[in-house]
Amino acid sequence: MDTEHVLAPIGEARVSTNPYRGLPDSAFWRRAVAIKPHEVDPVVEARFRIGREDRVATAGSCFAQHISRTLAARGFNYLVTEPGETARNFGVYPARFGNIYSVRQLLQLFRRAYGLFEPVDQAWRREDGRFVDPFRPQVEPSGFADPEEVARDRDRHLAAVRTMFEECDVFIFTLGLTEAWHSTVDGAVFPLAPGVAGMPDHRDFAFHNFSVAEMVEDLTRFIADLRLVNPAVRILLTVSPVPLIATYETRHVLVSTVASKAALRVVADEITRREEGVDYFPSFEIITGPHYGYRFFASDLREVRPEGVARVMDIFARHYMTTGPVERRSYAGAAPVARDAAEMAQLAQVVCDEEAIER
């Protein structure tokens, strides 16, 4: 530890004390973790609150589904912009985008929704001859009849995605994976490896394990863009506690899991430290912390038991949910100028000849 750095701000006080004296219990492992498990609450102070009227949207890896399911049950105003049959995976998330495992996938969903990215891969054929959307291959259990049907459904879907981004008051994103498969043609990132659910008619895809730097850049870009369409949105980041089901790295899956989760956790930390209106909720720590001795996991040591989800949501509700007033403000930076003064002055000089139109 850098003693000089720690002691410097204390000034006179360091003669009779140390910098940790007087810190709250939450700063000390013995008083905050090595206690009765149900008393461990790793949230010290929420940066913002969520009112019952706030429209809450969620996205992320499979753990995000637990959050979505329990939000409505606990009285939150869970936003659904693409309603439909539950059996066809409507309502799992606000729009039918399925799991979003990587930050790049989230950024690309946003860019696809706003017409900035049109991936080459538009539809993949399943083994049964039906087609899937490569970017949400499991949302339609019976698949689509042809690529045109995939495209039509995608247009509707992306409109719902835009509505979600523009209308949500709170956006909760669960970071899930660093390992992903992408197109070598245009960089499109797929949620599942080609062949898992549908197969492209080419071999132009490759494995990529995203670095912290790449993810920080992607998430920073996503937040900046999201704030352009929704300046007041509050963002809550979580990291999925669910281990990798498999790794494509040439190393043990446990090693890959720890590396991935550590990277994701660092990304959430970096972003939370630098971005206003963004908070981190420690569901990862609640589930995987040593205080519960891994008892929140099912026998496969991956699936989170309902008690674990309930514990996460209890703490979430305690710190974030409120029936009182909620501060709403814009987190956007200075807006660019659409027209400068000179251009406006020029416009004001226009003497139009509209009769030409009216004739």
Residues of the shown chain interacting with other proteins in the complex, contacts defined by CB under 8 A: 110, 114-118, 120, 162, 166, 186, 225, 228-229, 335-340, 342-344, 346-358
Structure-token match 């720590």, residue found: 285
Q: Which residues of 103-130 are buried (b: 16+ CB within 10 A; e: fewer)?
A: bbbbbbbbbbbeeeeebebbbbbeeeeb
The nearer residue to other proteins, 15 or 347, going by C-beta atoms, is: 347
Least gap, CB of 346 to other proteins (angstroms): 8
The nearer residue to other proteins, 110 or 131, going by C-beta atoms, is: 110
The nearer residue to other proteins, 197 or 226, going by C-beta atoms, is: 226
**Amino acid identity at 158:** L
Q: Which of 60, 89, 46, 112 is nearest to 238 (CA)?
A: 60
Least gap, CB of 131 to other proteins (angstroms): 21
DSSP secondary structure string for all residues of 249-298: SSS-HHHHHHHHHHHHHHHHHHHHHH-TTEEE--HHHHHHSGGGTTTTB-
The nearer residue to other proteins, 87 or 341, going by C-beta atoms, is: 341
The nearer residue to other proteins, 117 or 292, going by C-beta atoms, is: 117
Rounded CA gap, 341 and 184, in Å?
45
Least gap, CB of 227 to other proteins (angstroms): 8
The nearer residue to other proteins, 110 or 135, going by C-beta atoms, is: 110
Least gap, CB of 83 to other proteins (angstroms): 20
Least gap, CB of 225 to other proteins (angstroms): 6
Phi/psi of residue 220, each to 5°?
-60, -45
Alpha helices in the chain (DSSP H): 3-7, 29-32, 62-73, 103-113, 147-167, 212-229, 253-274, 283-288, 306-320, 341-348, 355-358
Least gap, CB of 241 to other proteins (angstroms): 32
